Amino acid sequence: MNSDDLAKRLLAGDKRALARAITLVENDDPAGWDLVRAAYPHTGHAKVMGLTGPPGVGKSTLIGAIITALRARDETVAALSIDPSSPFTHGALLGDRIRLTEHFLDPGVFIRSMANRGALGGLSEATLQAVLLMDAAGRDNVLIETVGVGQAEVDVIDHADTIVLALMPGSGDSVQALKAGVMEIPDVIVVNKADHPMTDTLVREIRGVLALGMPDDGWTPPVVCTQAAHGIGIDELVSAIDAHRAHIIERGTLEQRRRRNLENEVLEIATINLRREIEAVLAGDEHVREMLDQVVARKLDPASAAREILRRRPGAH
């Protein structure tokens, strides 16, 4: 299949073309970049939701349940599961596949996992490309799942219009990331495994943290309790996500948020390329090697060495 055909089939919503396109991007195949370029003007229509939270909190189960709810409204879905922590172990992803099997045969549902650093060497960048392809393929909803609450996950999740944080009762430190300000306050907080006796305690703790931050755009993140494994609370969760979307559209913050994220992404890609250029200079330049020796010997300070390296970059003046 040539790339024109692939682009046509992708834009027509063909699931196999979409799968192939994402693989190309993930493998840093130039054809993947051509596809994203061709697809880009057709993006911006999907509702993008990002779900993050600690391992085993029930993210995949929640995604499965949300997919069921969205399908009941006749909306199409693409789900992307990202695992930044373990590029080589596919255990969690295998678990995801098992939890999402009921949707595999539905032509309205596309499910994909990604653990590769991908094209540009940044997981966030690879995620964005995959999201763009899913969006261009006409999916009404794109759901991104990523494990953890650290910086890498936050970067990945930044491509979402609505960010949902899943927590579970009984794992004491789960509110810490919020408290410590590791992540921005999410748009919706879901307390899953609400069948656990400590649920009310966790909800109280979360509300306590939320009370500290002043929402500046008139949105207070709702805290929704669910039992994803039993389909309980899912309608409330989907309503909360819908309500957030309506809010950011009305306020104009959807446009602002997308603008900010796309600007960040352009700068990030430029930064990655610049770093590659610099590394190429470092690898091949005997003078640079000697200079680094001088830094190690405490004869030259790191900032002066860095300035010199930038001067030696091809095209620098």
**What residues make contact with Mg ion under the rule CB under 5 A?**
59-60, 96
Q: Tell me if 99 contacts ligand GTP by CB under 6 A.
A: yes
How near is the Cβ of 59 to Mg ion at its closest, in Å? 5
Q: At closest approach, how far in Å is the CB of 80 from ligand GTP?
A: 13
| Alpha-helix runs per DSSP H in 137-182 | 151-157, 176-179
The count of other CB atoms within 10 Å of the CB of residue 172 is 11
Which has the closest alpha carbon to 77: 31, 109, 102, 47? 109
**194-223 residues near ligand GTP, rule: CB under 6 A:** 195
Measured CA to CA, the distance from residue 18 to residue 10 in angstroms comes to 5
Closest contact distance (angstroms) between CB of 97 and ligand GTP is 10
Closest Cα partner for 166 from 155, 175, 179? 175
- Decide: is 58 part of the binding site for ligand GTP (CB under 6 A): yes
- The neighbour count for residue 151, using CB atoms within 10 Å, is 11
Give the binding-site size for ligand GTP (rule: CB under 6 A).
Answer: 18
Q: Which class for 37: exposed (0-12), middle (13-18), buried (19 or more C-beta within 10 A)?
A: exposed
Q: Residue 64 or 122: which CB sits closer to Mg ion?
A: 64
Cβ atoms of 111 and 75 closer than 8 Å: no
Do residues 121 and 272 lie in contact, with contact meaning Cβ atoms separated by under 8 Å?
yes
- By rule CB under 6 A, what string of x and - marks binding of each residue 5-44 to ligand GTP? ----------------------------------------
DSSP per-residue letters across 214-279: --SSS-PPPEEE-BGGGTBTHHHHHHHHHHHHHHHHHHTHHHHHHHHHHHHHHHHHHHHHHHHHHH
Minimum distance, C-beta of residue 135 to ligand GTP, in the bound complex (Å): 23
CB 131, min distance to Mg ion, A:
18
CA-based end-to-end distance of the chain: 45
Regarding 103 and contact with ligand GTP (CB under 6 A), the answer is no
Q: Are 15 and 133 in contact (CB under 8 A)?
A: no
**Shortest spacing between CB 93 and Mg ion, in angstroms:** 8
Q: Which stretch binds ligand GTP (CB under 6 A): 38-46, 106-114, 227-235, 258-266?
A: 227-235
Closer of 93 and 128 to ligand GTP (Cβ): 93
Residue 92 or residue 202: which is nearer to ligand GTP going by CB? 92
Closest residue to Mg ion using C-beta atoms: 60
Choice from 31, 209, 210, 229 touching ligand GTP (CB under 6 A): 229
CB closer to ligand GTP out of 52 and 124: 52
- Per CB under 6 A, residues contacting ligand GTP are 55-61, 92, 95-96, 99, 147, 192-193, 195, 227-229
